[in-house]
Chains A and B, each alone.
Chain A
Amino acid sequence: GQNIDQPTEMTATEGAIVQINCTYQTSGFNGLFWYQQHAGEAPTFLSYNVLDGLEEKGRFSSFLSRSKGYSYLLLKELQMKDSASYLCAVRDGNAGNMLTFGGGTRLMVKP
């Protein structure tokens, strides 16, 4: 099985930087994903990490350390529209590459 932990809620100020952490335990790690989900909408893909290191994509970056079972999503130059839930998901190669999601971190961006 898998255990994925991320903070339930975070608050940050417009224009600032916020880091959302995710820790996981899995027997067959085969990739970690971050999804953004606005209230009442579908999750949308943000980033994918399978090797250690930082993946940068515009204002969003995602980091992975497989030895520590740890990832973070970094959001820079926060905008009000970034207020959403951010879901960490781990793919298990020992379970048919099934994707298991964490509970999500609800980010509130304030002016």
Chain B
Amino acid sequence: EAGVVQSPRYKIIEKKQPVAFWCNPISGHNTLYWYRQNLGQGPELLIRYENEEAVDDSQLPKDRFSAERLKGVDSTLKIQPAELGDSAVYLCASSSRGAQYEQYFGPGTRLTVT
């Protein structure tokens, strides 16, 4: 069974530029999460989807961040414009409904804003 797939794995952009990250969760997993992980810290939740509905986006900086999960499968996280402080690893995770105690993480996208 394929795991959570993310792309790109690495991205370097200049500040004020836009950037997008893509996530394909494990097949059949209804719940999808986007986390941000700064160096030496634990992941912090940005947004959680149940199918195509965003049920928890309180930590998402809505002035520059946006996310969508069309058709309740793949998801895209966008930053526009990027700032230096956005440099981090962006992790996508998924879990199946009824088994939300275990989240499966993708390899992440390492973003560097210069």
Contact = CB atoms under 8 A, between A and B. Distances in A.
A33 interface: yes
Interface string B63-88: 00000000000000000000000000
A4 B42 CA distance: 10
Secondary structure type dominating chain A contacts: strand
A35 B35 CA distance: 15
B45 A99 contact: yes
Contacts of A43: 43, 91, 105
A48 B102 contact: yes
Contacts of B104: 45
Interface size class of A (residues with CB under 8 A): 20 to 34
A33 B101 contact: yes
Interface of B: 4, 40-45, 48, 55-56, 91, 100-108, 110
